[in-house]
Amino acid sequence: MVLSNKQQIKRWLHKLPLMIDCEEFEGFILQYLEDELPPLKRFVFETHMKMCRDCRDYLAAYQRTIETARTAVDQQELPEIPEDLVTAILEAQKASGEKDL
């Protein structure tokens, strides 16, 4: 595989002090979003995000996924209540009523 200059620079940058690679970045995402990263780690995380388009895009798509999932569920329409469920509940009610007597 031939590496582009950009990729080579990225590899080199990852090895500098206070730099992390994308895999380490991945491990910090949840803590970052939960606002649990201590200041230095947060700085390191945000620095990687500024420099790395792949991780920036990844995190944006990750967050968009959450938002889309929430909205899709919120927009669900009310179903009709299935008649078999009505019948089942009424029968279970009768059965539990008989037990109580």
Q: How far is the CB of 39 from other proteins (least distance, A)?
A: 20
Q: Which residue, among 97, 42, 34, has the nearest Cα to 66 in the 3D structure?
A: 34
**Does 89 participate in binding Zn ion (rule CB under 5 A)?**
no
**Does 9 participate in binding other proteins (rule CB under 8 A)?**
no
Identify the three-state secondary structure at position 2. coil
Q: Is 3 exposed, middle or buried (0-12, 13-18, 19+ CB in 10 A)?
A: exposed
As a whole number of Å, the CA-based R_g of the chain is 26
**Does 11 participate in binding other proteins (rule CB under 8 A)?**
yes
Query: Which of the residues 24 through 53 are near Zn ion (CB under 5 A)?
Result: 52
Q: How far is the CB of 43 from other proteins (least distance, A)?
A: 19
Q: How far is the CB of 88 from other proteins (least distance, A)?
A: 6
